């Protein structure tokens, strides 16, 4: 007969470590795109992505920003991100939503597929974050 643990909801990770979890995890990135140009560089969304990344144990994600770039034109930061993922520099990419890749659903899904095929996970900000 098995007995229930005295602390059934205790986290399965050890107590606080003297270094951030990012030291033990592969690097992560965030991708943001805004059109027209945003002089504030989407700081609110970037802050929300950083908070979300921290929940996953990533403390210092690198931001790739295509500011003032339409989804129908060349996106140099997205291309640089795909190249970096292909080179295994990043294993996770955080985005506010697939809309950041393109306005059209099929184009957004194709951009996400590029990153998945290159070897990373793409995690979207939960609604209301």
CA 90 – CA 113 distance, rounded (Å): 15
Residue 38: predicted pLDDT: 92
Q: How confident is the model at residue 129 (pLDDT cuts 50, 70, 90)?
A: confident
Residue 80: predicted pLDDT: 97
CA 65 – CA 31 distance, rounded (Å): 6
Q: Which domains does the chain have, with CATH numbers?
A: 25-124 (3.40.50.1390)
CA 84 – CA 81 distance, rounded (Å): 5
Taking only the tens place, the pLDDT of each residue in 28-72 is 999 999 999 998 989 999 999 999 999 999 988 999 999 999 999
Model pTM?
A: 0.79
């Amino acid at each position: 007969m098995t007995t229930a643990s005295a602390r059934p909801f205790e986290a399965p990770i050890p107590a606080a470590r003297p270094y951030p979890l990012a030291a033990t995890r592969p690097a992560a990135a965030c991708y943001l795109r805004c059109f027209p140009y945003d002089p504030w560089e989407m700081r609110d969304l970037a802050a929300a992505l950083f908070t979300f990344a921290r929940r996953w144990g990533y403390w210092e994600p690198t931001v790739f920003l295509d500011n003032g770039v339409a989804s129908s034109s060349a996106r140099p930061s997205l291309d640089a991100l795909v190249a970096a993922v292909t080179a295994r520099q990043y294993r996770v990419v955080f985005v506010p939503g697939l809309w950041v890749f393109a306005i059209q659903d099929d184009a957004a899904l194709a951009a996400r597929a590029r990153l998945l095929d290159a070897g990373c996970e793409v995690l979207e900000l939960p609604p209301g974050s």
